[in-house]
Structure 1
Amino acid sequence: MNKIVQSMESEVKRAQRGDREAFIRLFRQLEPELYCLAKTIVRRDEDCADVFQETTLKAYKALSTLQQPKYFKTWVIRILINECNQLLRSRERTVAMAEVPETASSADYYGDSHKLDLREAVDHLDESLRIVIHLFYFQDLPIKQISSILEISEGAVRARLHRARGILAERVKQSREGRLAYEAF
């Protein structure tokens, strides 16, 4: 077991014994990954903040129920995904209007156009594919852990990854071909 996992495990045990600072350190360590995952699912910054806050609160309240501290990260990711899905369901019930276009340019945020092509392609994937891509490539989680988090088989995770990779490759290829054709004029 590597040192990071051991360190996280000992922090979880401290937090379970009532050490609030240990819990805060755990969430600070996971915050960038959790925020990116939330952004992938709910897309709006204010929704990400709400989801992250709810996830933190639920994890804190239910920490004593976590039986194996080594699965803390997986457990928290599952809580976050559930919170994201709940927010999306409530948004569907309350808002029936079209999304307002974002005022900030994506290019301002991502800078490099090659990264932009790929990021835009990932953002346009179906939610089930987008989450698997995010967990595998951005969170660097193994297929077995993704399977556990999403409560689907490892074969389903592999199939989604394969399908998403194919879609991404095609979209990036089309995007680059379009830019080359445009630059030729």
Structure 2
Amino acid sequence: MNIDVNESEVLRAQKGDKEAFISLIKRLELRMYNIARSIVKKEEDCADAMQETVLKAYRSLPTLQNPRFFNTWMCRILINECNTLLRKKSKTVSMAEPPQEAVYVPQAADIRMDLRDAVDRLEETQRTIVILYYFEDMTIQQIADMLEMSAGAVKTRLYRARMTLSRRLKEPAAKEVRL
């Protein structure tokens, strides 16, 4: 999904034209939502990440050196926000519900881990690359530009992610059963 950038609109937004900035954000809104949703899962987390992204982008807009890269810049801020949110959530333990005793029952050999679950368990950079490549249909070069790495590094991490996913999907998984 390639969204055209109107460089003159970005320049106007950089000079303080709020309407131009809003127009740019509206054009990117669906893509940003899809990326956030695929990384953070929960609707409220998605909204938080998008809101924080728009706020940071608005404040930092004058520092964007090349208006042509506005979309990439926005998506990069969003990915960083989503990953920050996930890191914060992993450190937080909710005590709203007391933990229940869990029993682990091995699944039957023919039942495999869900692909989405396997993607979620990849390390952060690999997960981001897989989501952008397969779920957002971005090219290797677009991902490389967004993550500021070489196309070769993206290909290598994508290959390693595929191998990890393949291995994990072949293994029988343990299933948590709540009593």
Q: TM-score, length-normalised on structure 2?
A: 0.70
How many correspondences in the alignment? 154
Match of 1:70 in 2: 68
In the alignment, structure 1 residue 18 sits paired with structure 2 residue 16:
yes
Q: Quick check: 1:37–1:131 contact (8 Å CA) kept in 2?
A: no
Deviation at 1:42, TM superposition (A): 1.8
- Conserved in 2, the CA contact under 8 Å of 1:135 and 1:141? yes
Q: 2:79 matched to 1:81?
A: yes
Check whether the contact 2:120–2:127 (CA below 8 A) recurs between aligned residues: yes
Q: Secondary structure at the match of 1:74?
A: helix
Q: Identify the structure with bigger relative contact order (alpha carbons < 8 Å, sequence gap 6+).
A: 2
- Pairs within 5 Å for 1:90-129: 90-93=88-91, 95-96=92-93, 119=116, 122-129=119-126
Following superposition, the deviation at residue 47 of structure 1 comes to 0.8
Residue 70 of structure 1: how far off its partner (Å): 0.4
Task: Confirm or deny: 8 A CA contact 1:40 1:130 kept in the other structure.
Answer: no
Where in structure 2 are the equivalents of 1:99-178 lying within 5 Å? 119=116, 122-167=119-164
Measured at CA, do residues 20 and 137 of structure 1 come closer, stay the same or move farther in structure 2, by a change above 3 Å? same
DSSP-derived class of the 1:67 partner: coil
Aligned to 1:44: 42
For 1:37 and 1:147, how far apart are their aligned partners in 2?
16
Q: Report the CA distance between 1:167 and its aligned residue.
A: 5.0
Contact 2:7 2:67 in 1 (8 A): yes
- Determine which of 50, 53, 56 is the counterpart of 1:55: 53
TM-score normalised by L of structure 1: 0.68
Distance 1:88 1:119, change over 3 A: closer
Distance 2:12 2:76 in 1: 21
Equivalents in 2 of 1:171, 1:91: separation in Å? 24
CA distance in 2, matches of 1:150, 1:163: 17
The alignment partner of 2:6 has SS state of helix
Percent of residue pairs bearing the same amino acid type: 53
Classify the secondary structure of the residue corresponding to 1:75: helix
Q: Which stretches in structure 2 are left out of the alignment for 5+ residues?
A: 98-113, 173-179
Task: Compare the two structures and name the one with the higher strand fraction.
Answer: 2
Asked if the contact 1:42/1:84 (under 8 Å) is kept, the reply is: yes
Please say if residues 40 and 131 of structure 1, whose CA atoms lie closer than 8 Å, have aligned partners that are also in contact: no
